[in-house]
Amino acid sequence: MANERFLVKGGARLSGQVRVSGAKNSVLKLMGAALLAEGTTVLTNCPAIDDVPLMQKVLEGLGCTVEREGDVVRITTPAELSPRADFEAVRQFRASVCVLGPLTARCKKAIVALPGGDAIGSRPLDMHQSGLEQLGARTYINHGCVVAEAEHLTGAHIKLDFPSVGATENILTAAVLADGRTVLDNAAREPEIVDLCDMLVAMGARISGAGSNTITVDGVAELRPTRHEVVGDRIVAGTWAYAAAMTGGDVTVGGISPSHLHLALEKLKNAGAQVETYAAGFRVRMEGRASAVNYQTLPFPGFPTDLQPMAIALASVSEGVSVLTENVFESRFRFVDEMIRLGTDATVDGHHVMIRGKRRLSSAPVWSSDIRAGAGLVLAGLCTEPGDVTEVHDVFHIDRGYPDFVETLTSLGADIERVQ
């Protein structure tokens, strides 16, 4: 609920074990991909986050039947879909634009309200539109909606200006039903892209090169529904890893391939943490205070922009001076203003921020501007003076991306309470 807040007590040391569920940045796109095949697609390992029922509303508005039970989501897609994703369903979260590619491929037309979501900077749809146009669609913005129309989609050689995850996903989900071969250069390489390609292949698509800069798609006439397990959430896993380091803790995280967080874990090693990796998890231990480390966010396999708030929070209590450069979203440093309220010694210069670490932060009321900023503020609240209470407001953002956030932190030894 929008008026809920968290009360976070300082002085905690986190220790224990957690298991992450499926990735927010994957499950919503997989739900959208279910539009490509008539019949019932089943997704397992789905996270209990608020964005999943929001995506359910989008799909139901298009004519699908969606059932959720535990971590299983069943999506039954009819032979005839509505091509219109309305404003009321779409406005609340950015990932809803992922229905643009599937609707263009299945319905020959898509009308998708321009989406809302996090306040981390503008994310225009130029590359989405350009990619669909190169496949033969006509696209335009009309009355607050992006419209794509295509009597016929034909494979093309497409090069992205930037390895955009969203554009890569929409182009892939349109190209799988296009005639001929599509080659996508400078494609996004994120594990969530590989997860989407794995599901599409299971549906009958012909895709090679997932996880590399160049993805090749040979179009097929139709796809079939499938059953697919959602890949583990590397951002949630990384959040718990940085929480362990910030609090001098010892946390083991399961349900995730450590290769999906290679650079983030290397940065923790550089900061002085002991990191052990396993086939499907890792352990992070920090004795004493972390050392300052520099970061720059980049598309995968670079340091994830979604872990930037956690890196800033860790730098705030590290020994020495850290410089963090944000290369992905221009407004992500709004988070720094809230960290300064907690006592962080930070100087912002364009897309760089310099942080002089302190041993402890100080409590204050702070406001979440997006999912990851909210999580970073909670972790910072754990690093205030013992007994100090930090109020984190607008926590509905956190609920959009973190299942059982309060319960997980409590199980690791944090003193955190959700209140009206």
- The predicted-structure confidence for 382-394, as pLDDT tens digits, reads as follows 999 999 999 999 9
The pLDDT score that the predictor gives to residue 144 is: 83
The pLDDT score that the predictor gives to residue 167 is: 96
The pLDDT score that the predictor gives to residue 116 is: 57
Q: Please give the domain boundaries of the chain with CATH numbers for all domains.
A: 5-20+232-419 (3.65.10.10), 24-229 (3.65.10.10)
The pLDDT score that the predictor gives to residue 334 is: 82
- 118, 195, 198, 370: the catalytic one is 118
Please check if 24 is assigned to a binding site: yes
Please check if 159 is assigned to a binding site: no
Which residues in the chain land under pLDDT 50? 117-122
First to last CA, the chain: 9
The pLDDT score that the predictor gives to residue 412 is: 98
* 118 flagged as catalytic: yes
The pLDDT score that the predictor gives to residue 2 is: 60
The pLDDT score that the predictor gives to residue 118 is: 43
Please check if 170 is assigned to a binding site: no
Please check if 224 is assigned to a binding site: no
pTM score of the predicted model: 0.94
